[in-house]
Amino acid sequence: MLDRKVTPTIEEAVHFDLQLKNCDRFTLDNKVPVYAMIAGAQDVVMVEWVFDAGNWYDKQPMVAATTNFLIKNGTTTKTAYQINDFFEFHGAYLNRSCYNETASLTLHCLSKHLETLLPVVREIIETSIFPEQELGIYIQNQKQRLSVNLQKCDFIANRLIDEYLFGINHPYGTYSNAKDYDTLNTDVIKAFYKEYYLNGCCKIFVAGKMPTGYESMLNKAFGTLPLRAEPNAVVEHPIVTASQKKVEIINDENGVQGAIRMARPFPNRHHPDFQKAHVLNTLFGGFFGSRLMSNIREDKGYTYGIHSYFQNHVHASAWMISTEAGRDVCAATIAEVIKEMEILRNEPVDREELDLVRNYMIGSLLGDLDGPFQLIGRWKNYVLNGLDENYFYKSIETIKSVTPQELQSLANTYLQPDDFYELVVI
Amino acid sequence: MIQFDRFVLDNGLRVLVHEDPSTPMAVVNVMYDVGARDEDPAQTGFAHLFEHLMFGGSINIKDYDEPLQRAGGENNAYTTNDLTNYYCQLPAQNIETAFWLESDRMLSLAFGEKSLATQRKVVCEEFKEHYINKPYGDVWHKMRSLAYTVHPYRWMTIGKELSHVENAKIDDVKNFFFKHYRPVNAILVVAGNVKLEQVKRLAEKWFGPIEMGKKYERQLPVEPLQTEARKLEVEANVPLDAFVKTWHMDARLSPGYYAADLLTEILGGGAASRLYQTLVKEKQYFSSIDCYHFGSLDAGLVAVDGKLVKGVSMDTAVKAVDEEIEKLKASKIEAKELQKVINRTESVIAFEDMSVMSRASSIALYELLGDASMMNTEFQKYQAITIDSIHDYANKIFANNNSNTLLYHAQS
């Protein structure tokens, strides 16, 4: 007779021997490095060109983001429409993203079309022209989008909490204002493009079922461009944190929810506490079974979701708690978060709960290693943060071996409510 | 080509197995043939509330998530107007844990009052977060009730109003469960690093003893043919005027579905699509515009959805959209444009098939539609679409009397 009360035997994920598949590396004729993860069953590929062209290098607001957005909106021989139509005709996606330190162009396509598409990506990097009209349309539409976003409590909260942590003039703390868009012109965009893309520091990441001879395809298209492997000249940005710790803002009188953000500064990935704190964070608010979710969603029903996480920055990080809660229970939600911090400071986590977190983390890591795009994503993260595979193996070791005492001691160091900014936007 | 095997347990549970030894993971996907369309009009939002309750403990297991996480697994679920899908992924060695958990909650939930009370609140917060506390959050509530007069697509999966969820009682929950969550109304897909024989043994062991239940025979009111254009104007506290227009299209298994899908690509798929190029880039009447449909199983809607550039009159914008639609009706598209949208579809299918989780849910969906092997002939159906069939279909659906227009004005 089947006894449904008895849990089936499991192999604990902490006993798995996880291996990170190595990526191939080579350089183009101009020394631009290529990182490749050749794997997968589907005939699809991804190529990402990562430039050191994030808003870290902005000399005035929004130039990096605008340059990145408009880079495929016209070359010396093609209009924005022709470029888009070309990629779309081949069922390909050429996306661009601007981050703090880097900005990228990413191509997703069927393997069979790669050779046809690469020369046009080259043309974009080499001869983008940034037409006035394209900039005008972009500014108009961005301002409109901003006006809609400014009605959302979560959007306002995300901006302000970054400002408190880093300062409005720091790349991590700055945000867009309608009036800043009016300062943009094609001259500054073109200058930024020339310095940080055309003659920029570039790394290429490729993954999937790459066609035979892809190395020479890449070299032919990109190895003769004036791209650099050497990093940009160092730019420093001082962090200026806000002095007021608790802020409440009414953005919408009729709002039925409040966006709550609680955050404190935290060191970057190179700090010895980082990986252990990652385990503590998972326990605290980093997965569905976390303390915050169990208490504030699953027991109290104050919110649809509450999470804690580390913000992903290269130079410095922040430890963040984020939720949208019913307007009348915002204060109660904050009180519960503080209570959960206190419990972590005062009581060592019991073995059973910690084992669950360890198994969950390793199992989820195993899932994250599944597939070429996920793998190259992990490698990219290591490369851009100056890390290598040792970081991976050390993080597994940490998950397996960190003790309740170490976690409690970390909680005492970092989970002090007085160190956290506390923001509610309704 | 996605390979799979299929067998049916004596209690009617359909089981499909997709072996992929290249991954260390296994996926267990359970799809129930129930969605918001199966709700009582006085108790909307129930299928989705129910999805939450499925995590509140089952008859023999007090907590669903904890043992799964301990086995290194992760899970989630979603509810649509048509169906409810639960999926978990875990290291293949520990797959039996997923069978144990999923079969126990198919056997019976714990039906705890506390879980119901909490999840009612959680779902109300979800309702507020996505549909009340967001600018334009109520657009689809309004559009659905404009476009449908009798079919249950007239409400959203989250529910027509908060009170329906707030008033849910434990007896309603029990009735809903035993009506819909039976083996005979469910599809189990197991994919990843698994073997057919292993899945057969585990399925028999864990799901075999569950009582079959009664097959749910869906009898939904059929939406009558719309005979005149409908229009609704509203004013709200938003910064920009918005415009949504819909037209009724064919059901998922009709040939017309594929033509409709390609039409939405022609009009709104990407930055070189017709609406974006003409209305955002050239005329600059809209700051954003999209054309899409929801992939509904019953007859759904093709939608054009955009925000107007400040200073452009609603009238001008509406006329400009109509002009683009009229162009599609008046002249046939070029062969190259058809080729483009077919190429895009080929690519979308290839990228979707990359993840084993997505393959598992596709297998479940096509089985729900009647035959899982349809997933391997889907692309051929797109390839069969011709310039003429696109033209005929555009003329069929883009008729004025088949349209519903929502003019969403910013309060001045």
pLDDT tens, B269-325?
A: 999 999 999 999 999 999 999 999 999 999 999 999 999 999 999 999 999 999 999
Q: How much is the average pLDDT of B150-159?
A: 96
In terms of CATH, what superfamily is B5-206? Answer: Metalloenzyme, LuxS/M16 peptidase-like (3.30.830.10)
Chain-chain contact of A356 with B309 (C-beta, under 8 angstroms): no
State the pairing for strand pair B230-236/B403-410.
Answer: parallel
Per CATH, the number for B230-410 is: 3.30.830.10
Whether B412 shows a pLDDT value over 80: the answer reads no
Q: For B347, name the nearest residue in chain A, comparing CA atoms only.
A: A91
Chain-chain contact of A137 with B117 (C-beta, under 8 angstroms): no
Question: For chain A, how many residues are written?
Answer: 426
Instruction: Report the alpha-carbon distance of residue A333 to residue A374 in Å, rounded.
Output: 35
Residues of chain B found within 8 Å of residue A43, distances taken between Cβ atoms: 350
Percentage of residues in chain B having pLDDT higher than 90: 89
The confidence score (pLDDT) of residue A84 equals 97
Counting DSSP H helices and E strands in chain A, the numbers are 15, 11
Percentage of residues in chain B having pLDDT higher than 70: 100
Q: Quick one: fold of A24-222? A: Cytochrome Bc1 Complex; Chain A, domain 1 (3.30.830)
Chain-chain contact of A9 with B96 (C-beta, under 8 angstroms): yes
Whether B56 shows a pLDDT value over 90: the answer reads no
As given in the structure block, the two tokens for residue B278 are 């003409």
Q: What is the DSSP string of A190-257?
A: HHHHIIIIIT-BEEEEEEESPPTTHHHHHHHHHTTS--BSSPPPP--------S--EEEE-S-TT-SE
Chain-chain contact of B345 with A91 (C-beta, under 8 angstroms): yes
- Give the number of other Cβ atoms within 10 Å of residue A393's Cβ: 13
Instruction: Report the alpha-carbon distance of residue A157 to residue A165 in Å, rounded.
Output: 12
Question: B169 to chain A, minimum CA–CA distance in Å?
Answer: 17
Q: For CA atoms B234, B238, B239, B242, give the dihedral sign.
A: negative
- Give the number of other Cβ atoms within 10 Å of residue A235's Cβ: 10
Q: What is the DSSP string of A220-233?
A: HHHTTS--BSSPPP
The confidence score (pLDDT) of residue B125 equals 87
Instruction: Report the alpha-carbon distance of residue B412 to residue B405 in Å, rounded.
Output: 21
| CA distances in angstroms from A23 to A380, A389, B307, listed in the order given | 10, 10, 44
Instruction: Report the alpha-carbon distance of residue B339 to residue B336 in Å, rounded.
Output: 5
Residues of chain B found within 8 Å of residue A255, distances taken between Cβ atoms: 133
Q: Kindly give the parts of chain A with pLDDT less than 50.
A: none
On whether the CB atoms of residues A181 and A346 are closer than 8 A, the answer is no
**DSSP for residue B94:** G
Residues of chain B found within 8 Å of residue A4, distances taken between Cβ atoms: 59-61, 100, 103-104, 107
Q: Of B189, B179, B6, which is closest to residue B86 (Cα–Cα)?
A: B189
Q: Which of B240, B271, B346 sits opposite A91 (nearest CB)?
A: B346
pLDDT tens, B91-122?
A: 999 999 999 999 999 999 998 898 899 989 88
Residues of chain A found within 8 Å of residue B240, distances taken between Cβ atoms: 144, 147-148
Question: B37 to chain A, minimum CA–CA distance in Å?
Answer: 23
Residues of chain B found within 8 Å of residue A360, distances taken between Cβ atoms: 69-70, 72-74
The two domains B5-206 and B230-410 share their CATH topology (first three levels equal):
yes
> B407 falls in which pLDDT band (50, 70, 90)?
very high
Chain-chain contact of A363 with B71 (C-beta, under 8 angstroms): yes
Q: For B206, name the nearest residue in chain A, comparing CA atoms only.
A: A2
SS3 A114: helix
Question: A392 to chain B, minimum CA–CA distance in Å?
Answer: 18
Instruction: Report the alpha-carbon distance of residue A293 to residue B134 in Å, rounded.
Output: 23
Does 3.40.50.150 match the CATH number of domain A246-425?
Answer: no
Q: Cα A415 from chain centroid?
A: 23
Place of tokens 């340059």: A67
Residues of chain A found within 8 Å of residue B97, distances taken between Cβ atoms: 7-8, 10
User: How many CB contacts within 8 angstroms connect chain A with chain B?
Assistant: 208
3-state secondary structure B357-400: HHHHHHHHHHHHHCCHHHHHCHHHHHHCCCHHHHHHHHHHHCCH
Q: For CA atoms A186, A189, A194, A197, give the dihedral sign.
A: negative
Q: Which of A5, A10, A288 sits opposite B71 (nearest CB)?
A: A10
Q: What is the pTM assigned to this prediction? A: 0.94
Place of tokens 């779309």: A88
SS3 A417: helix
Spatial neighbors of B322 by CB under 8 A, at least 6 apart, are none
Could you give the dihedral angle defined by the CA atoms of residues A251, A253, A256 and A257, in that order, rounded to the nearest 10 degrees? 20
Question: A377 to chain B, minimum CA–CA distance in Å?
Answer: 15
Chain-chain contact of A11 with B120 (C-beta, under 8 angstroms): no
Residues of chain A found within 8 Å of residue B74, distances taken between Cβ atoms: 288, 360, 363-364, 367
Instruction: Report the alpha-carbon distance of residue A360 to residue B66 in Å, rounded.
Output: 9
Spatial neighbors of B76 by CB under 8 A, at least 6 apart, are B86, B87, B88
Residues of chain A found within 8 Å of residue B348, distances taken between Cβ atoms: 91
Q: What angle do CA A319, A324, A328 make, to 5 degrees?
A: 120
Q: What angle do CA B229, B231, B232 make, to 5 degrees?
A: 160
Domain parsing of chain B, residue ranges:
5-206, 230-410
Single-letter amino acid code for the residue at B300: G
As given in the structure block, the two tokens for residue A294 are 């169990």
Whether B362 shows a pLDDT value over 80: the answer reads yes
**Ramachandran angles phi, psi of B202, nearest 5°:** -70, -35
Instruction: Please list, residue by residue across B204-223, b when 16 or more beta carbons sit within 10 angstroms of its beta carbon and e when fewer do.
Output: eebbeebeebeebeeeeeeb
Q: Specify which residues B28 forms β-bridges with.
A: B88, B190
Q: For B124, name the nearest residue in chain A, comparing CA atoms only.
A: A304
Instruction: Please list, residue by residue across B308-335, b when 16 or more beta carbons sit within 10 angstroms of its beta carbon and e when fewer do.
Output: bbeebeeeebbebbbebbeebeeeebee
Residues of chain A with CATH 3.30.830.10: 24-222, 246-425
Question: Is ipTM > 0.90 here?
Answer: yes
Q: Which of A90, A287, A366 sits opposite B343 (nearest CB)?
A: A90
